[in-house]
Amino acid sequence: MESLMDTLVDRQANKNAGLIPFPAPTYAQVRCFFGSLVRAMYRLEVVGADRLPVTGPMVIAPNHDSVLDGIVLGAAISRELRFLGKAELWQSRLLGWVLDGLGAVGIKRGCSDHLALARMRHALETGQAVAIFPQGAIYGDRVWHRGAARMTLATGAPLVPVRLVGTARALSRGRIGFPRLRIIFGEPIKVARATEDPVAATELTERLRIAVESLA
């Protein structure tokens, strides 16, 4: 019998059902296609991948400078990732179709989207790896939000700081050629599982920000 969480996940995925008459691509298919494209176009350097847990839950938390970030991150990590992305991305039928195939989770910004957070927590509690961009967007206030820290504290999953270098320049106007892209994985931050604590989440977010910005 399906769990309530499985039903909720299927309900989100079915929003695009029937709009595009083909099955959504699998994560492996999307990673193979875009990973090959990124490696063919850019000089991709991955540092510290051996620091990542091979199995079990983990929260990947990179800086966010470009729309390329998710693609580059997926190409650099062999494990399947569940991405958390802004709900507006699903307004595009084609992109929503691809995101559903990836198992990505859309979150409504500007409010407490408890369903999206519950789905990410469920993924971690079942041993999956999730990717959350604490900065939320590549434009705007660029504030580091507490979502990744909250997921770590709620589940006890390791929090992995990641620095993406060169992705902003990769799509900039006036660039010459294709720049080198660098993905640097830091040492996982391990904390004890704790109940909801805004102060602890704020402190962990600041610790994460410092860890990401120190990677070079």
Question: Which domains, from first to last, does the chain contain?
Answer: 4-214 (3.40.1130.10)
Q: What is the model's pLDDT at position 97?
A: 78
| Residue 44 backbone phi and psi in degrees, to 5 | -95, 120
Q: What percent of the chain has pLDDT over 90?
A: 41
Structure tokens that stand for 1 in this block: 């019998």
- Count the neighbouring beta carbons within 10 Å of the beta carbon of residue 19: 10
Cβ-based neighbour number of residue 33 at 10 Å: 12
Stronger pLDDT, 108 or 41, i.e. the higher one: 41
| Residue range 196-206: mean pLDDT, rounded | 92
Phi and psi at residue 83, to the nearest 5°? -90, 145
Reduced to 3 states, what is the DSSP secondary structure of residue 24?
Answer: coil
Other CB atoms within 10 A of residue 10 CB: 11
> Quick one: which of 163, 207, 213, 165 has its CA closest to 185?
163
Contact 95, 89 (CB under 8 A): yes
Name residue 95's amino acid: L
CB 102 within 8 A of CB 123: no
> Which residues are CB-neighbours of 56 under 8 A, at least 6 positions away?
127, 157
Read out DSSP for 166-183?
SHHHHT-TT--S--EEEE
The most confident of 9-23, 94-108, 188-202, by mean pLDDT = 188-202
How confident is the model over 4-17, as pLDDT tens digits? Answer: 444 444 444 444 44
Whether the Cβ atoms of residue 133 and residue 69 lie closer than 8 Å to each other: yes
Identity of the residue numbered 174: G
> Is residue 208 scored above 90 in pLDDT?
yes
* pLDDT tens digits, one per residue of 73-88: 988 998 999 988 887 8
The reported pTM is: 0.83
